[in-house]
Chains A and B, each alone.
Chain A
Amino acid sequence: MADFLSGYSVQKWLESCPQGYLEGTVYGHGEDEVEAEEVLKNETFREQQIRTTVQLVVGEQCALAAASGLVNAAQDRPSKLFLATQTLDEARHVEIFVQRLYDLGVKPDDLESTLKTYANPNLVKFAEVLLEKVDKKDFVAGVVGQNIVLEGMAFSVFEMLHATAERSNPKFAHMLSGTIADERRHVGFGENRIGELIKRHPERKSDIHKMQRNMTKHMLATFHDLFEASAGAANEARKAASLDTQRPQAIYHGLNLTEASTEEMESALANTVLKEFKTRLSRIGLEYQSPM
């Protein structure tokens, strides 16, 4: 255990993250990068981006509460040190996505009401399932919920958003690439640390399976709500794309996002996340539980 955890020290984190891929960035992007004009000028696109970014803030606030709560639940010092770095990663994500809301025109005085208006209730329930385990200082369930389920979901969502923004909104894509690099580290820790704990505590499996099933149910409902809510913006984007043959295409797992319907996008994202869950859960000795 000690060997793999030495790769997750504060010093390694300092060198790879703040002194690595974040060097020279401001709020996760280049100082000269700004939001895409197309988003700021079109009210439908702007609202859709605000709705999406609010979900990112809600998800990251949950991750911040969970990672910081798990510091005290961890029994070993190296895990506490790693979780402290994860705590700051999550706080940074909250900060950059809140800043993005300001960049999208949300006024600081309207921030809380904007979060309240757009936060998806299913995503809030997803967070509550995880935080219940953290509040009980249940380290094993907490790390599975946080570093496998939540981070696994976030990883795939960020990749899809990154594919969409890569050509059309480099500033947002830059923010996402730093976040994806952080999430990769968090998922790696979860897989490495929890596998041995599950082996030592097989009696915990059924409770953790139940938590994963509940979180998955709320996650899929969140995806459904959000893709349904973005149908108008997606239609408008498709129309604009059909008129502009030079428009760069966005591809995610073989799906052309520029031309795809919201149902196709929802299906591509859900399938990718569930496939990732199955792989990662099996690596730590758990079987994926379908919420259906």
Chain B
Amino acid sequence: MRDWIDPHQLNEDDFKSTVQSFEFWFEAVEGYLHGRPFGVSPLTKEIALSDRRRDGLITTLCNYCVGEAAALEASSGMIRFAPDRLAQVFLATQAVDEARHLEVFLNRLSQLGVPNVDVEIESRANRSLLKFKDRLLEFVDAQDWEAAVFAQNVILECLESTVFRHHAATADPVTAEILAGVISDERRHFGFGENDLGRRLQAAPHVHARLAKIKRDLDTLVLDTFSEVMGELDIAPADRPDLAGDYLAAVARLGFRP
């Protein structure tokens, strides 16, 4: 392995060629995936879950599968119209990350005794999340790079990492470990979106208004999804984290106010 280079010390071209490379991805994931088949160390023990908690977890995982399947289709579909080779390579690493997330969540559903995951996902999928998926894939089909990066690498990644972080804090040990690996990937994906759009917004400030409109349209779907997730995680109302607030604050850091 090469000596560690702090990417933030690099100039723009070197930053992109380092951070958006297979090599960078390879070194990053090795740390948290090695020795963890399907995202979990063999030493991590299962705990008994009540029927109610197990059922809530199944619904939550089914929705994670919907989100990850959307991200897999979007990231792979964006490769063809990515602006340069480095962005294509980054999106290829993201596609495999999303495929891995889908696979580990499906594996967790099997561990929880779900006999037919497709039937279960179909019946438990959140309607707002499905609509979000459709909107995202419309941007991809239209080869609208800015809208697709914004919807996928900013809004969807922000939504997922907000939910995953809060869920990991209260989840059973196996699910929590799976989520920890997934969160590490999401950080990289969000970073790409933030970096790419940040540069574009600097060069063409008028793009901001268009993206802000897309955000307003998608916010309703995101906030509806959050409100359902809260119910599924079986957290008492008084203890519920402010998922919507966290999400809006994260997007606001990019200059998109509610």
Binding site for B on A (CB under 8 A): 9-11, 13-15, 18-19, 22, 24, 26-27, 31, 61, 64-65, 68-69, 71-72, 77, 80-81, 83-85, 87-88, 90-92, 94-95, 98, 108
CB neighbours (8 Å) of A98 from chain B are: 85
Q: Is there a chain A Cβ closer than 8 Å to B15's Cβ?
A: no
- How near does chain A come to B118, taking the closest CB pair, in angstroms? 8
Taken together as a complex, chains A and B put the C-alpha atoms of A26 and B96 apart, in Å, by 20
Known contacts: A31-B2, A84-B95, A98-B85. The answer to whether A14 contacts B23 by CB under 8 A is no
| Cβ contact within 8 Å between B79 and A87 | yes
Known contacts: A14-B33, A80-B99, A95-B23. The answer to whether A87 contacts B77 by CB under 8 A is no
| Cβ contact within 8 Å between B80 and A65 | yes
Contact pick for A88, options B2, B22, B23, CB 8 Å:
B22
Q: Could you tell me the dominant secondary structure of chain B's interface residues?
A: helix
Taken together as a complex, chains A and B put the C-alpha atoms of A83 and B88 apart, in Å, by 15
Residues of B48-97 at the interface with A, using a CB-CB cut-off of 8 Å, are 69, 72-73, 76-77, 79-80, 85, 88-89, 91-93, 95-96
Q: Is there a chain A Cβ closer than 8 Å to B13's Cβ?
A: yes
Q: Is there a chain A Cβ closer than 8 Å to B236's Cβ?
A: no
Taken together as a complex, chains A and B put the C-alpha atoms of A11 and B99 apart, in Å, by 10
Q: Could you tell me the dominant secondary structure of chain A's interface residues?
A: helix
Of all chain A residues, the one with the shortest Cβ separation from B117 is A77
| Cβ contact within 8 Å between B30 and A80 | no
Of all chain B residues, the one with the shortest Cβ separation from A82 is B99
Instruction: Tell me the count of chain B residues lying within 8 A, CB to CB, of chain A.
Output: 35
Taken together as a complex, chains A and B put the C-alpha atoms of A167 and B42 apart, in Å, by 42
Taken together as a complex, chains A and B put the C-alpha atoms of A40 and B1 apart, in Å, by 25
| Cβ contact within 8 Å between B13 and A108 | yes
Binding site for A on B (CB under 8 A): 1-2, 13, 17, 21-23, 26, 29-30, 33-34, 37-38, 69, 72-73, 76-77, 79-80, 85, 88-89, 91-93, 95-96, 98-100, 102-103, 106
Taken together as a complex, chains A and B put the C-alpha atoms of A93 and B92 apart, in Å, by 12
CB neighbours (8 Å) of B102 from chain A are: 77, 81
6 contacts between A and B (CB under 8 A): A26-B23, A68-B77, A69-B80, A80-B99, A81-B99, A90-B92
| Cβ contact within 8 Å between B96 and A9 | no
| Cβ contact within 8 Å between A91 and B88 | yes
CB neighbours (8 Å) of A14 from chain B are: 33, 100
10 A-B pairs with least C-beta separation: A91-B92, A84-B99, A71-B76, A68-B79, A88-B96, A68-B76, A92-B22, A10-B100, A91-B89, A84-B95
Contact pick for B76, options A13, A61, A84, CB 8 Å:
A84
| Cβ contact within 8 Å between B89 and A84 | no
